[in-house]
Amino acid sequence: MRREPPGHGVWPQNAPAVRAFLAICNQWRTVSAGLAGARVIGLDYGAARDGLEMSGITVTPGLWAEVQVIEGAAVAAMRES
C-alpha cells in the first residue's frame, strides 16, 4: 500500500465530494471582464448536473453542498491569480 506524505491526499469523508467536483471541474460559467478577459463566476449548474449524471454520480443535497464549498474555494483561487 502506497502512503502519501503528511499533508497530502483527501480525507475519506471528503472523497465523494472531490470525485464529484473533479467530474465537472471544467464546466465553468464566465462573464466578460473587458480588457482583462473573462471572469469565472461559478459552475454552470445545468452542465454540472449533466456531467454528474453521465459520470454515474448520484447527487444528494449534502453532496451538492460539499461540491459548492469546493466551487467557492476554486473561484476564489482563480480570482487571486
Instruction: Tell me which amino acid residue 68 is.
Output: Q
pLDDT digits (tens, 9 = 90+) for 15-25: 999 999 999 99
Residue 1 has pLDDT above 60, yes or no: no
Return the C-alpha cell found at 20. Answer: 464529484
pLDDT digits (tens, 9 = 90+) for 23-46: 999 999 999 988 888 899 999 999
30 HSE (CA, 13 A, CB side):
13
Closest CA to 19 of 57, 75, 51, 60: 57
Comparison of pLDDT for 7 and 49, the residue scoring more: 49
Torsion of CA 37, 46, 49, 52, to 10 degrees: -40
pTM (whole model) above 0.75: yes
Cα 14 from Cα 80, distance rounded (Å):
24
